[in-house]
């Protein structure tokens, strides 16, 4: 099962893109101070099949430029299937992971990658002190400054 919460249109999680974001259930990382403990169980949300995902993308493709998955790297083959479908729709792709590294077979399907666990003392991408990185995969450039420009 590859369960997700209902998708949301997002404007800030990927700079300069309008994204459709899917939160994948079953994160095992248990970051202290996690804001999304309701996503730790694999059982919540509802199953995202290829067919359902395509239906969502057909519905939203005219309004978005990118698809974000919040987690899901723990089910790499399912995540890869969804990333490949996103490419069929000519959409950019992004993964938000709490890991510092993910397998190359996932990275090569991503336009953007956010890495690193949540550490409350260091803050998120909008803080200069953060341990997290937002990376443009093709150039390997770190784009954290785009989250910090208003601070």
Residues that bind ligand SF4 (CB under 6 A): 27, 29-31, 34, 36, 39, 98, 117-118
Query: Are 81 and 37 spatial neighbours (Cβ–Cβ below 8 Å)?
Result: no
State both tokens at 30. Answer: 């248990």
What minimum distance in Å lies between the beta carbon of 36 and ligand SF4? 4
Contacts 24+ apart (CB under 8 A), 76-80: 76/103, 76/105, 76/106, 78/2, 79/2, 79/24, 79/106, 80/105, 80/106, 80/109
Which of residues 99 and 137 has its CB atom nearest to ligand SF4 in the complex?
A: 99
Which of residues 22 and 118 has its CB atom nearest to ligand SF4 in the complex?
A: 118
Which of residues 27 and 94 has its CB atom nearest to ligand SF4 in the complex?
A: 27
Name the closest residue to ligand SF4 (Cβ): 98
What minimum distance in Å lies between the beta carbon of 88 and ligand SF4? 28
What minimum distance in Å lies between the beta carbon of 100 and ligand SF4? 11
96 phi/psi in degrees, rounded to 5: -100, 115
Which of residues 9 and 29 has its CB atom nearest to ligand SF4 in the complex?
A: 29
Angle at 9 between CA 103 and CA 51, to 5 degrees: 65
């Amino acid at each position: 099962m590859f369960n997700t919460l209902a998708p949301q249109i997002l404007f800030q999680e990927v700079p300069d893109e309008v994204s459709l974001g899917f939160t994948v259930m079953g994160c095992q990382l248990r970051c202290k101070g996690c804001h999304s403990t309701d996503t730790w169980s694999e059982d919540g949300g509802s199953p995202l099949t290829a067919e359902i995902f395509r239906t969502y993308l057909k519905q939203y493709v005219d309004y978005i430029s990118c698809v974000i998955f919040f987690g899901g790297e723990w089910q790499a083959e399912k995540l890869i299937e969804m990333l490949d479908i996103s490419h069929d729709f000519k959409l950019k792709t992004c993964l938000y992971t709490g890991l510092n590294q993910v397998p190359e077979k996932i990275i090569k399907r991503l336009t953007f990658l956010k890495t690193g666990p949540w550490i409350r003392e260091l803050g998120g991408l909008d803080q200069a002190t953060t341990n997290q990185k937002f990376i443009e995969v093709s150039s390997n450039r770190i784009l954290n400054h785009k989250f910090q420009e208003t601070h």
